[in-house]
Amino acid sequence: MAKRKRPAKSEENETNNKVILPQKKHYRQRAHANPFSDHSLDYPTSPDAVDWAIHYPAFASSGRAPEFADVGCGFGGLLIALAPLYPDVLMLGLEIRVQVSQYVQDRIAALRVSSQPQSSPDIAETHPAPYQNVSVVRANAMKFLPNYFAKHSLSALFFLFPDPHFKSRKHKARIISPTLLAEYAYVLRPGGIVYTITDVHDLHLWMDSHLKNFPLFEPVSEQVLREEGKGPIIDAVYTSTEEGKKVERNNGQKWLACFRRIEP
Amino acid sequence: MPSYPHTQIFIGPKCTIDISGPHIQLLDSATGAVQFSTTSLGDEEKDALVKSGPIRCAAVDKAFSRLITCGEDKMLKVWDINIEKDVSAIKLFNQRELPKKPTEIAFTKDGQTILVSDKFGDVFSYPLHFVPPTAAQKAKRERDSIISHENPSDGTLILGHASPLNAFVLSQDEKFIITADRDEHIRVSWFPRGYVIEMYCLGHLKFVSAVHIPASHPELLISGGGDPVLKIWDWMNGKLKHEVEVWSAVEPFIVEYPAEKRKRAVGDDVDAQRGKEGKRGKDEKMKDKERQGTGDEVEPLSPEGTTTTAVDQKPEKVLVIHNIESSRQGDQNYVLFNAVGSTALFMFPYKDDASTDDINTLDFGRPVLDFSVLEDGDIMVILDGEWKAESSGPIAHVAMVKISSGELVEDKVARQSLLDALNSTCLLPATEEELKKLDLYHDLTAMPKHSSDPEAAAVDGDGVVPVGAPELSSSTVARRKAKGREGSEVQEGPSKKELGKLKARQAVKQARQQTGGEEEAPKMKRVKSERSSTDQDVIMAGGDQ
């Protein structure tokens, strides 16, 4: 693992949060995981078996399930950025690395607690408390996505700065492949959007061409999505994640590619 | 000299095809006379055949005009079956390389398309006629950096799972393909447009190794694998109709056990969990001593930890459903199945409230390797004829069974000549080594999942998902980490990292108590709610340190 110096503070680190928010340094882990091995994962047998009320207690009575899924959510930057923008949309991050998913879990728990006082009682009447709409699971999305999400239950799927698996021998472990796209199309409702972004040009070409060639997805431009009011999502996709910020610090380039789920 | 157990037998109206080891034989279905055998091929051809290894997968088209086989060499071979008066023969029609080892192969009804599922989890389709890709095409493929799947013979990728595929079946109208994998999934996809997933049938808790659609009920799917039940699904909408408990019926007949991964001493199970984590040797010995002292690390690190076996005990029996079929007798439908390494054939009448008590068994005293239901409803059973020589009676490799007043009974009259031939003249000699290579009960070892993710197993215990005793596992983690860095030196108590995490969690908990939201505190990650109660203790205990 590359050793990087990192500022200890993060943007939500307001005074009252200092103790509460987990620190990334306690959760560092090797950046790669083999998606094909039998990890000791704990996963639901089917979407019906998931009690989303445990993840989203404020929505317990709504009977709702997640609509946004961030596959390989890493340290959870996107979820945290989107949570206040779409307070009524449930979002789930999936992360295969134990420590990292644990970090996101602790981070969300801390944010829920520390953000509560900010919302005045009259707002709380109409809006759920902040960050009640985001959660995370440690999961291998390549194998178990359909265990979490029912057919056509999602409206957005995010693949932000995924592991590039540079060696061609390892390409089969990439998160975008023709066979996996079938599963993504299954969990996405027609009209739903797949967002991909990477700083690795080869990987961009890979994801872009596989999605373009897949009969159930059609490319949709950033401009069109912005016109549809998804600008805040696009902005978050570009800038909210740890990887996204790192690329910015290094003045690297980012390639965005988005696709709409269409009917067969 | 021992002989090969039959791998597969296809009984047709005129001819019967027998697969034994690497060889193929063609028999007259009426007389049992061997009309052709690949053992009589010229030396060169025969050597090539033997070199391909034992045939693992085979299928015959409806018309009995072509046979497909695949051995250990990933070469998919199509054979022409010629039945003529004097010169019946099986001739190699074409062969092509498969990208991965196949787990099942099948013809479509028209016999024009071959479907292959493989260990990587993909299903490819191939046309019957093979046009090898040109060198230019191959070169182009190699240069193409966007290729996600190896595809040496230019097959059509129908679909793929990220787990090994164990079985697949086409719906009766061939508009859907149902695939089953080692990670409990049953997927229903359109066929041939497999990129459209219609539904999943989810509910298995262990691998799925056999799926079947009864001819009489094309809307149903019967599935089995490592779970103690067979599940019956309405596959179009993924709904479980009911399940039949079979383990209690099968268990007494299981005589084969999974191979042990390696010899290990009693109580060494924790090390086994750690898999290939490197840093072995000295550390191991230290660890053993240490364990005798404290005894605490024997705490299972994962659910699997409790099932690992010690060396002087017999390994536990493992259920692997091998094949499921159905047979119709008058108005009644019967479901038949067998399990790897068990000596009986099992059957129950298909009805909505079928239960364990309805299971009828027929014991053969030696493991049933496979069975198939013939056109007339009779059942052909292939046995491990070489299994433990001490068993009494004439050695049987093949038996015929019929269903008579709701019971399985051996039928020694039907197809007697054929049966005699399959049990005598057709048997091909095999050396002990060749038999060992067949590894007939490999699935008992290979199908069940064993954690190969030691770190996660340990860390899981301490609370990504707050489960179980945290102080113990976190210290185990810390100790392991310490070992990684400083050799055998052992650091007691939680690491800095752990303390840092616990501190933050403790603060969250206090804040939660202050705001009074204690009782409905979010228990993320906990899917099973009963465990979430321990979460409280976890944080408390952690904070005390």
**Is A217 exposed, middle or buried, given 0-12, 13-18 or 19+ CB atoms closer than 10 A?**
buried
pLDDT for A100 beyond 80: yes
Share above pLDDT 90 across residues of chain A, in percent, rounded to a whole number: 72
Residue A160 known to bind ligand: yes
Residue B424 burial (CB count, 10 A): 13
Most B CBs within 10 Å, among A113, A138, A205, to test the B interface = A113
Give the three-state DSSP class for B181.
strand
Confidence category of residue B535, pLDDT binned at 50, 70, 90: very low
**Average pLDDT over every residue of B229-237:** 97
**Average pLDDT over every residue of B330-358:** 94
**Average pLDDT over every residue of A205-217:** 97
Residue B522 has its nearest CB partner, among A41, A46, A112, at: A112
Kindly report the average pLDDT of chain B as a whole number.
80
Q: Is A39 on the interface with B (CB under 8 A)?
A: yes
Which chain B residues are closer than 8 Å to A44 by Cβ? 527
| Pairwise CB contact (< 8 Å): B450 & A35 | no
Residue B195 has its nearest CB partner, among A54, A108, A216, at: A216
pLDDT, position A18 = 57
pLDDT for B146 beyond 70: yes
Residue A243 known to bind ligand: yes
Confidence category of residue B494, pLDDT binned at 50, 70, 90: low
Q: Count Cβ neighbours within 10 Å for each residue of B55-85 and write b for 16 or more, e otherwise.
A: bbbbbbbeebebbbbbbeebbbbbbebebee
Residue A213 known to bind ligand: no
Q: Which residues are CB-neighbours of A115 under 8 A, at least 6 positions away? A: A129, A130, A131
Q: How close is the nearest chain B Cα to the Cα of A162, in Å?
A: 16
pLDDT for B473 beyond 70: no
The separation between the first and the last C-alpha atoms of chain A, rounded to the nearest angstrom, is: 43
| Pairwise CB contact (< 8 Å): B451 & A110 | no
Confidence category of residue B454, pLDDT binned at 50, 70, 90: very low
**Is A1 exposed, middle or buried, given 0-12, 13-18 or 19+ CB atoms closer than 10 A?**
exposed
CA B226 and chain centroid, separation:
8
Using CB atoms and an 8 Å cut-off, which of residues 109-138 of chain A contact chain B? 109-110, 112-114, 116-117, 132, 135-138
pLDDT, position A115 = 76
Q: Which of A70, A163, A199, A208 is catalytic?
A: A163
Most B CBs within 10 Å, among A34, A179, A187, A263, to test the B interface = A179
Whether A70 is a known active-site residue: answer no
Which chain B residues are closer than 8 Å to A98 by Cβ? 455-456, 459-460, 464
Q: Is A153 on the interface with B (CB under 8 A)?
A: no
Residue A79 known to bind ligand: no
In chain B, which residue's Cα lies nearest the Cα of A263?
Answer: B196
Of B275, B277, B276, B273, residue with least CA distance to B304: B273
CATH code of B6-256+317-445, in short, is 2.130.10.10
Q: How close is the nearest chain B Cα to the Cα of A151, in Å?
A: 7
Which chain A residues are closer than 8 Å to B505 by Cβ? 22, 106, 109
| Pairwise CB contact (< 8 Å): B195 & A36 | no
pLDDT for B469 beyond 70: no
Residue A20 burial (CB count, 10 A): 23
pLDDT, position B300 = 39
Q: Which two tokens stand for residue B101?
A: 């080892």
**Average pLDDT over every residue of B484-492:** 46
Confidence category of residue B464, pLDDT binned at 50, 70, 90: very low
Which chain A residues are closer than 8 Å to B199 by Cβ? 151
Share above pLDDT 70 across residues of chain B, in percent, rounded to a whole number: 75
pLDDT, position B255 = 94
pLDDT, position A13 = 44
Q: How close is the nearest chain B Cα to the Cα of A86, in Å?
A: 20
How many beta-carbon contacts under 8 Å exist across A and B? 201
Per-residue pLDDT tens over the stretch A224-246: 999 999 999 999 999 999 999 99
Per-residue pLDDT tens over the stretch A33-78: 788 877 778 899 999 999 999 999 999 998 899 999 999 999 999 9
Phi and psi, residue A216, nearest 5°: -100, 5
Q: Where are the domains of chain A?
A: 64-114+128-261
| Pairwise CB contact (< 8 Å): A143 & B183 | yes
Which chain B residues are closer than 8 Å to A22 by Cβ? 500-501, 504-505
pLDDT for B540 beyond 60: no
Tracing tokens 């989107």 back to the chain, one arrives at A82
| Pairwise CB contact (< 8 Å): A54 & B159 | no
Tell me the C-alpha distance between B371 and B345, whole Å.
Answer: 8
Share above pLDDT 90 across residues of chain B, in percent, rounded to a whole number: 60
More confident residue, A143 or A5: A143
pLDDT for B362 beyond 70: yes
Which chain A residues are closer than 8 Å to B526 by Cβ? 54
More confident residue, B382 or B501: B382
Residue A50 has its nearest CB partner, among B148, B504, B527, at: B527
Per-residue pLDDT tens over the stretch B314-336: 788 999 999 999 999 888 999 99
Residue A242 known to bind ligand: yes
Tell me the C-alpha distance between B30 and B49, whole Å.
Answer: 28
Confidence category of residue B231, pLDDT binned at 50, 70, 90: very high
Using CB atoms and an 8 Å cut-off, which of residues 219-258 of chain A contact chain B? none
Q: Count Cβ neighbours within 10 Å for each residue of B36-51 and write b for 16 or more, e otherwise.
A: bbbbebeeeeeeebbe
pLDDT for B152 beyond 80: yes
CB A68 within 8 A of CB A240: no
pLDDT for B266 beyond 50: no
Most A CBs within 10 Å, among B508, B515, B520, B531, to test the A interface = B508
Confidence category of residue A126, pLDDT binned at 50, 70, 90: low
Tracing tokens 């191939």 back to the chain, one arrives at B126
pLDDT for B391 beyond 70: no
| Pairwise CB contact (< 8 Å): B511 & A20 | yes
More confident residue, B311 or B116: B116
Beta bridge partners of B407: B404
Of B398, B174, B223, B181, residue with least CA distance to B324: B223
Per-residue pLDDT tens over the stretch B161-214: 999 999 999 999 999 999 999 999 999 999 999 999 999 999 999 999 999 999
Q: Is the pTM of this model over 0.90?
A: no
Q: Count Cβ neighbours within 10 Å for each residue of B474-512 and write b for 16 or more, e otherwise.
A: bbbbbbbbbbeeeeeeeeeebbebbbbbbbbbbbbbebb
Q: How close is the nearest chain A Cα to the Cα of B34, in Å?
A: 44
Tell me the C-alpha distance between B379 and B383, whole Å.
Answer: 13
Kindly report the average pLDDT of chain A as a whole number.
88
Residue A15 known to bind ligand: no
pLDDT for A215 beyond 70: yes
CB B38 within 8 A of CB B27: no
Confidence category of residue B299, pLDDT binned at 50, 70, 90: very low
Q: List the Cα angle A63/A65/A70 in 5-degree steps.
A: 160
The amino acid that residue A118 corresponds to is Q
In chain B, which residue's Cα lies nearest the Cα of A101?
Answer: B464
| Pairwise CB contact (< 8 Å): B145 & A202 | yes
Q: In what order do the strands lie in the sheet with B66-70?
A: B57-60, B66-70, B75-82, B89-97
pLDDT, position A17 = 52
Q: How close is the nearest chain B Cα to the Cα of A152, in Å?
A: 11
Confidence category of residue B236, pLDDT binned at 50, 70, 90: very high
Residue A198 known to bind ligand: no
Which has the minimum average pLDDT: A130-134, A204-208, A254-258, B311-315? B311-315
Q: Which two tokens stand for residue B155?
A: 């097959």
Which chain B residues are closer than 8 Å to A168 by Cβ? 145
Which chain B residues are closer than 8 Å to A113 by Cβ? 508, 511-512, 515, 517
Which has the minimum average pLDDT: A118-122, B251-255, B464-468? B464-468
C-alpha dist (Å) from residue B360 to A93, B342, B396, B403: 48, 14, 21, 10
Per-residue pLDDT tens over the stretch B39-98: 998 899 999 999 999 999 999 999 999 999 999 999 999 999 988 766 788 999 999 999
Residue A241 known to bind ligand: yes
The separation between the first and the last C-alpha atoms of chain B, rounded to the nearest angstrom, is: 69
More confident residue, B456 or B336: B336
Q: Which two tokens stand for residue A37?
A: 């091995």
pLDDT, position B270 = 38
Confidence category of residue B439, pLDDT binned at 50, 70, 90: very high
pLDDT, position A116 = 62
Q: Is A23 on the interface with B (CB under 8 A)?
A: yes
Q: How close is the nearest chain A Cα to the Cα of B492, in Å?
A: 18
Tell me the C-alpha distance between B103 and B119, whole Å.
Answer: 6
CATH code of A64-114+128-261, in short, is 3.40.50.150
| Pairwise CB contact (< 8 Å): B522 & A55 | yes
Residue A96 known to bind ligand: yes
Q: Is A211 on the interface with B (CB under 8 A)?
A: no
Q: Is A17 on the interface with B (CB under 8 A)?
A: no
pLDDT for A14 beyond 50: no
More confident residue, B386 or B460: B386
Per-residue pLDDT tens over the stretch A130-177: 999 999 999 999 999 999 999 999 999 999 999 999 988 888 899 999
Out of A46-60, B470-484, B502-516, the most confident range is A46-60
Q: List the Cα angle A254/A255/A257 in 5-degree steps.
A: 145
Q: Where are the domains of chain B?
A: 6-256+317-445
Which chain A residues are closer than 8 Å to B456 by Cβ? 39-41, 98
pLDDT, position B289 = 39
